[in-house]
């Protein structure tokens, strides 16, 4: 404690901010690793369709803890390097804000990596594919086509208004999707 008493009030303030924020940082880090920060609401059987993207969140608890931790440690390093109080504050704030921005960007881009995997049939419109099982003329028989939708090759049921059967291997284009998810196709010209 003797070294602490010899510090100026400016240095004491930085040590207090650094100590408290580092303890919070360690608590957040440990709770993240053990899974204590999950949003688990129990066993719920509900289907929710919404945009669950979190967006770019700059002011969060984790970002503020990171700001003050970096602010404190960089400030102490700056003081140790012999910089003035003004320079130390500017460097500390800049590095803290930079850390907040990096963390917000990281969480934003990580959230964009998730996908629901739900096939949205409207994404098949104007897709080019190939007949897999013969599709009857004038919607007389449901056939199957292979079409790349949402980055994956899918085998889906299809009908056509064309006057001739579309046989296996014919190249087709999806022109519509029925309410029950059947593709309406035509030969690709």
Q: Strand 143-149 vs strand 183-187: parallel, antiparallel, or unpaired? A: unpaired
What is the DSSP code (8-state) at residue 50? S
Residue 32 has pLDDT above 90, yes or no: no
Of 164 and 117, which is predicted with more confidence? 164
What percent of the chain lies above the pLDDT cut of 70?
86
Q: Is the pTM of this model over 0.75?
A: no
Cα–Cα distance for residue pair 66/103, rounded to 1 Å: 8
Task: Report residue 55's pLDDT band, with 50, 70 and 90 as the boundaries.
Answer: low
CB within 8 Å of 171: residues ≥ 6 apart = 128, 129, 130, 187, 188
Of 124 and 50, which is predicted with more confidence? 124
What percent of the chain lies above the pLDDT cut of 90?
54
Question: Helix (H, G, I), strand (E, B), or coil: what is residue 47?
Answer: coil
Q: How many helices (H) and strands (E) does the chain have?
A: 4, 5
What is the DSSP code (8-state) at residue 166? B
- CA dihedral sign of residues 12, 13, 19, 22: negative
* Structural contact between residues 54 and 111, judged by C-beta atoms closer than 8 angstroms: yes
Cα–Cα distance for residue pair 35/56, rounded to 1 Å: 23
Q: What is the pLDDT of residue 129?
A: 94
Task: Report residue 111's pLDDT band, with 50, 70 and 90 as the boundaries.
Answer: confident
Task: Report residue 47's pLDDT band, with 50, 70 and 90 as the boundaries.
Answer: very low
* pLDDT per residue as tens digits for the range 5-27: 788 888 999 999 999 999 999 99
Q: Count how many Cα atoms sit within 13 Å of the Cα of residue 31 in the half-sphere of its side chain.
A: 11
What six digits make up the tokens of 182?
Answer: 């059947």
Q: What is the pLDDT of residue 37?
A: 55
Residue 188 has pLDDT above 60, yes or no: yes
Of 52 and 34, which is predicted with more confidence? 34
What number is the average pLDDT over the span 163-170? 93
* Structural contact between residues 120 and 156, judged by C-beta atoms closer than 8 angstroms: no
What number is the average pLDDT over the span 48-55? 47
Residue 66 has pLDDT above 50, yes or no: yes
């Amino acid at each position: 404690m003797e070294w602490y008493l010899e510090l100026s009030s400016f240095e004491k303030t930085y040590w207090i901010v650094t100590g408290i924020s580092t303890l919070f940082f360690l608590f957040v880090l440990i709770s993240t690793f053990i899974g204590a920060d999950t949003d688990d609401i129990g066993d719920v059987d509900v289907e929710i369709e919404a945009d669950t993207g979190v967006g770019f969140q700059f002011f969060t608890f984790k970002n503020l803890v990171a700001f003050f931790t970096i602010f404190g440690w960089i400030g102490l390093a700056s003081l140790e390097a012999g910089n003035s109080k003004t320079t130390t504050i500017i460097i500390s704030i800049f590095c803290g804000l930079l850390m907040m921005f990096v963390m917000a960007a990281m969480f934003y881009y990580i959230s964009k990596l998730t996908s629901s995997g739900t096939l949205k049939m409207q994404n098949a419109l104007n897709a080019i594919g190939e007949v897999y099982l013969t599709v009857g003329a004038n919607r007389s028989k449901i056939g199957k086509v292979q079409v790349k939708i949402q980055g994956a090759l899918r085998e889906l049921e299809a009908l056509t208004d064309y006057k001739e059967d579309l046989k296996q291997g014919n190249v087709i284009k999806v022109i519509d999707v029925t309410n029950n998810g059947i593709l309406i196709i035509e030969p690709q010209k």
